């Protein structure tokens, strides 16, 4: 029995998460496994009831679970709160920290049926299937910061980019393992021509590489990687990189697929991993049965693969999503000529009918 904490959150989270949960329930029936779901409040509902977007009860439910399924956080009402109570800062970051999640995984898959949804040319994006590992707990975002006023009154600000070998080794090993189960190609992205932290990153990657002789390793400077992602994204299989480079590159890579509604993500590293769509709570379409639930359903597939090691079940969900697209069904965000437009609930049902 696997225990899943379910945090629907704000906006469309309340519509897309039930579709992923229903999909997991069907998987339990078909693949001879069992899941126990425990719902918990986060962000606006939690703030209204307990006065904090991440109350201790919710954190405890997550810590006791085997995996966490999260919709999205952020609402017009929460945006009016002081920064220390906003859900990104007061709920998401502490949740990731408490669960010890140090690697964020973002698959970007360009489905043949959605090639036209990308802003890039079909021949550039067709067949793209990239998995990025972004380090989540170190680097520039967490290093010491300071502000000083110089003698002449000029303001100066300092951010510090710190990494140690342990932090690099643990994520690079995960990325090598993932590459091994895919097309066996790993690109480590750094800026070793300029940054000392990147030189340490590269040395550490090279030290670990002999443990994975079957994986082809290459190193790429981050500026070149940004260029290669739009020039020839098909060259990448697995990418591993530090926090800020990963932050920027994953957003760039996400647009290869054309729609935020298709992008799943997983944050792993601790005992309990967190699975969530890459998009936000989309308040502009919330409550209208317009949201695309596929990113959340695909995040549930990642949960089956990475937390529960149910590869066959994960692949069945991904195949069902492909099949629904091949059969011509689309939510509004990915709608194309000649296709049949469906709402959130119907899209979820169509996927389940194909599992
Ligand atoms: P967003 O991702 O919520 O929406 C951007 C655009 O994409 C909107 O037009 C929206 O309608 C559309 N969209 C997003 N997901 C979709 C889906 N599944 N189906 C169809 N269309 C979809 O980003 P935003 O508008 O900048 O932010 C809205 C709120 O979400 C803010 O409060 C923000 O802070 C929060 N946010 C949360 C997360 C998170 O929970 N991890 C991430 C990003 C933004």
Average pLDDT in the 136-157 region? 94
CA of 40 to the centre of ligand 1 (A): 21
Q: What is the pLDDT of residue 23?
A: 98
Q: Which residue did the predictor score with more confidence, 259 or 192?
A: 192
Under the banding of pLDDT at 50, 70 and 90, the label for residue 89 is confident
In 3D space, the residue among 111, 139, 137, 136 whose CA is nearest the CA of residue 126 turns out to be 111
Sign (positive/negative) of CA torsion 65, 12, 133, 96? negative
Q: What is the pLDDT of residue 176?
A: 98
Q: Is the pLDDT of residue 258 over 80?
A: no
Q: What is the pLDDT of residue 275?
A: 98
Q: What is the pLDDT of residue 248?
A: 94
Atom of ligand 1 nearest to the CA of 16: 18
What DSSP state is assigned to residue 272?
A: S
Average pLDDT in the 201-212 region? 98
Q: What is the pLDDT of residue 93?
A: 86
Q: What is the pLDDT of residue 337?
A: 87
Q: What is the pLDDT of residue 144?
A: 92
Q: Is the pLDDT of residue 138 over 80?
A: yes
Mean pLDDT, the chain, whole residue set? 96
Model confidence pLDDT, tens digit, residues 183-198: 999 999 999 999 999 9
Model confidence pLDDT, tens digit, residues 262-277: 999 999 999 999 999 9
Tell me which of 79, 112, 159, 251 is the catalytic residue: 251
Q: Is the pLDDT of residue 27 over 90?
A: yes
Catalytic residue flag (residue 247): yes
Atom of ligand 1 nearest to the CA of 277: 41
**Pair 113, 326: CB distance under 8 Å:** yes
Catalytic residue flag (residue 223): yes
Counting DSSP H helices and E strands in the chain, the numbers are: 14, 14
Average pLDDT in the 308-323 region? 96
Q: What is the pLDDT of residue 259?
A: 80
Average pLDDT in the 90-110 region? 93
CA of 34 to the centre of ligand 1 (A): 31
CA distance 100 to 313: 26
- The dihedral formed by the CA atoms of 21, 4, 43 and 45, expressed in degrees to the nearest 10: 70
Model confidence pLDDT, tens digit, residues 336-353: 889 999 999 999 999 999
Average pLDDT in the 251-257 region? 90
CA distance 252 to 120: 12
Q: Cβ atoms within 10 A of the Cβ of 99, count?
A: 21
CA 192 to the chain's CA centroid: 26
Model confidence pLDDT, tens digit, residues 219-241: 999 999 999 999 999 999 999 99
CA atoms within 13 A on the CB side of 139: 20
Average pLDDT in the 138-153 region? 94
Nearest CA to ligand 1 atom 40: 72
CA distance 317 to 355: 6
Q: Is the pLDDT of residue 150 over 90?
A: yes
Atom of ligand 1 nearest to the CA of 285: 11
Q: Is the CB of 7 under 6 A from ligand 1?
A: no
In 3D space, the residue among 205, 212, 109 whose CA is nearest the CA of residue 165 turns out to be 205
Q: How far is CA 205 from CA 18, 184, 210, 223, in A?
A: 40, 15, 10, 19
* Least confident interval from 137-146, 176-185, 218-227, 306-315: 137-146
Q: Is the pLDDT of residue 77 over 90?
A: yes
Under the banding of pLDDT at 50, 70 and 90, the label for residue 104 is very high
Under the banding of pLDDT at 50, 70 and 90, the label for residue 260 is confident
Model confidence pLDDT, tens digit, residues 275-302: 999 999 999 999 999 999 999 999 999 9
Q: How far is CA 146 from CA 149, 293, 319, 326, in A?
A: 10, 42, 50, 53
Determine phi and psi for 153, rounding to 5 degrees.
Answer: 95, -5
Determine phi and psi for 241, rounding to 5 degrees.
Answer: -160, 170
CA of 160 to the centre of ligand 1 (A): 30
- Please give the domain boundaries of the chain with CATH numbers for all domains: 1-107+262-355 (3.40.718.10), 119-257 (3.40.718.10)
Q: What is the pLDDT of residue 352?
A: 98
Pairing assessment for the beta strands 264-268 and 273-277 based on DSSP bridges? antiparallel
Nearest CA to ligand 1 atom 22: 261
Average pLDDT in the 207-214 region? 98
CA distance 30 to 50: 38
| Residues sharing a CB contact under 8 Å with residue 170, sequence separation 6 or more, in sequence order | 102, 103, 269
Under the banding of pLDDT at 50, 70 and 90, the label for residue 141 is confident
**Pair 187, 220: CB distance under 8 Å:** yes
CA of 292 to the centre of ligand 1 (A): 11
Q: Is the CB of 72 under 6 A from ligand 1?
A: yes
**pTM (2 decimals)?**
0.91
And the tokens for 261?
Answer: 């509604």
And the tokens for 101?
Answer: 């999640």
Under the banding of pLDDT at 50, 70 and 90, the label for residue 83 is confident
Ligand 1 probe mutation, 254, 258, 260, 276, most atoms within 8 A of CB: 260
Q: What is the largest CA-CA distance in the chain?
A: 71
Atom of ligand 1 nearest to the CA of 295: 18
Percent of the chain with pLDDT over 90: 91
């Amino acid at each position: 029995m696997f225990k899943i904490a379910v945090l629907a959150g704000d906006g469309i989270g309340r519509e897309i998460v039930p579709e992923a949960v229903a999909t997991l329930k069907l998987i339990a029936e078909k693949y001879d496994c069992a899941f126990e779901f425990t719902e918990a409040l986060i962000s606006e509902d939690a703030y209204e009831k307990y006065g904090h977007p991440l109350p201790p009860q919710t954190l405890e439910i997550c810590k006791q679970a085997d995996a966490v399924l999260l919709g999205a956080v952020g609402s017009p009402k929460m945006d009016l709160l002081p920064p220390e109570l906003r859900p990104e800062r007061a709920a998401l970051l502490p949740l990731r920290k408490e669960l010890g999640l140090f690697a964020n995984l973002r698959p970007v898959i360009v489905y043949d049926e959605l090639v036209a949804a990308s802003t890039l040319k079909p021949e550039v994006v067709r067949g793209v299937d990239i998995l990025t590992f972004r380090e989540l707990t170190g680097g520039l975002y967490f290093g010491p910061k300071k502000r000083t006023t110089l003698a002449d009154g000029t303001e100066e600000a300092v951010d510090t980019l710190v990494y140690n070998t342990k932090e690099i080794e643990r994520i690079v090993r995960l990325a090598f393992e993932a590459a091994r189960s895919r097309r066996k190609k790993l690109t480590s992205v750094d800026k070793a021509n300029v940054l000392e932290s990147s030189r340490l990153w590269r040395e550490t990657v090279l030290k670990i590489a002999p443990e994975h002789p079957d994986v082809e390793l290459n190193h790429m400077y981050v500026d070149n990687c940004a260029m290669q992602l739009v020039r020839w994204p098909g060259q990448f299989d697995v990418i591993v990189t530090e926090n800020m480079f990963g932050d920027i590159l994953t957003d760039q890579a996400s647009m290869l697929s054309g729609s935020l509604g298709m992008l799943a993500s997983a944050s792993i590293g601790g005992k309990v991993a967190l699975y969530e769509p890459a998009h936000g709570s989309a308040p502009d379409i919330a409550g209208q049965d317009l949201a695309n639930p596929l990113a959340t359903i695909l995040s549930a597939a990642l949960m089956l693969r990475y937390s529960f090691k149910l590869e066959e079940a994960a692949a069945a969900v991904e195949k069902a999503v492909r099949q629904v697209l091949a059969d011509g069904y689309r939510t509004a965000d990915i709608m194309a000529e000649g296709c049949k437009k469906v709402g959130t609930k119907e899209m979820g049902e169509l996927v389940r009918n194909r599992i």
